[in-house]
A and B are shown apart, each in its own frame.
Chain A
Amino acid sequence: NAGVTQTPKFQVLKTGQSMTLQCAQDMNHNSMYWYRQDPGMGLRLIYYSASEGTTDKGEVPNGYNVSRLNKREFSLRLESAAPSQTSVYFCASEAGSNTEAFFGQGTRLTVV
């Protein structure tokens, strides 16, 4: 049982480049989330998907887009990367509001 799988684990981008972070879960969870974590700060929600076919903005959505491709997969796209997007990105999933959330291992992104 793999849980939540994120790819890639590390990435270096030049300013203005685009990329997509991939996330897949094999637990049949309805809700999926994308967070970023910056040094000294708590995790901040970028986007979430409460169910297949729906997505909503979180706390810090600017500069990002998401796609809930199917129940398993939730991708995060940076259209034009900026140095301010240098961060560690985590994907998470959960079955319901009072159930345990599972996090992926994170993607460490550096924009130069």
Chain B
Amino acid sequence: KNQVEQSPQSLIILEGKNCTLQCNYTVSPFSNLRWYKQDTGRGPVSLTIMTFSENTKSNGRYTATLDADTKQSSLHITASQLSDSASYICVVRVYNFNKFYFGSGTKLNVKP
């Protein structure tokens, strides 16, 4: 069964600290994996897209990793800011189809 599971469900960290969010998937055949940031009441915003051959991709303080062998991805946030408080969603696309599998998201709360 194709699934995307994210952990933890929620996370509270202090401003300035680093954190890592996890995404495990069983989707096959794999096309790409995306991380989105969704602020409360707004649409998701793309952070990274990684294909099968990419292990790491960065976007500012956000760094995503992908291990296609173990079907795991992580999103590392460096030096967190209050504006990082949001839900982070992992999405895996099926190869050759307009079909996506969404994780339920990790809700991050950065406190001062």
Which of B4, B44, B51, B93 makes the CB contact (< 8 A) with A90? Answer: B44
Assuming A98-B31, A98-B32, A101-B34, is B103 touching A42 (CB within 8 A)? yes
Contact in complex: A42, B45 (CB < 8 Å): no
- Determine if A42 and B32 form an interchain contact, defined as CB atoms under 8 angstroms apart: no
Given B32, B41, B43, B102, which contacts A103 in the complex, CB threshold below 8 Å? B43
> Total A-B residue pairs with C-beta atoms closer than 8 Å?
47
Contact of B105 among A42, A45, A48, A105 (CB under 8 A): A42
Category for how many chain A residues contact B:
20 to 34
Q: A44 to B45, alpha carbons, bound, how many Å?
A: 16
Are B31 and A105 in contact, with the CB atoms below 8 A?
no
Contact assessment for B4 and A42 in the assembled complex, using a CB-CB cutoff below 8 Å: yes
Residue of B nearest to A48 (CB): B98
Q: Is the CB of A106 within 8 A of B42?
A: yes
Q: By the criterion CB–CB under 8 Å, are B104 and A56 in contact?
A: no
Chain A residues contacting B46 (CB-CB under 8 Å) are 100-102
- Contact of A62 with B by CB under 8 A: no
Shortest distance from the beta carbon of A106 to any chain B beta carbon, whole Å: 5
Mark interface residues in A51-88 (1 if CB within 8 Å of B CB, else 0).
00000101000000000000000000000000000000
Please tell me which one of the listed residues A40, A56, A103 contacts residue B44 in the complex, with CB atoms under 8 A apart: A103
Complex formed: what's the CA distance from A104 to B41 in Å?
A: 11
Give the residues in chain B near A106, CB-CB below 8 Å: 41-43
Pick the most buried of B49, B98, B103: most chain A CB atoms within 10 A of its CB.
B98
Q: Using Cβ atoms and an 8 Å threshold, which residues of chain B touch A43?
A: 44, 89, 102
Instruction: Please give, as numbers and ranges, the residues of chain A lying within 8 Å of B51 by CB-CB distance.
Output: 98
Question: Contacts A40-B104, A42-B89, A97-B93: A103 and B98 contacting too (C-beta < 8 A)?
Answer: no
Least Cβ distance of A17 to chain B in Å?
A: 24
Which residues of A are at the interface with B, using a C-beta cutoff of 8 A? 4, 31, 33, 40-45, 48, 50, 56, 58, 90, 92, 97-106
Closest 3 CB pairs of A and B: A103-B43, A42-B102, A100-B46
- Chosen A-B contacts, 10 in total, with CB atoms closer than 8 Å, are A31-B98, A42-B102, A42-B104, A44-B102, A97-B31, A99-B49, A100-B46, A100-B49, A101-B34, A103-B45
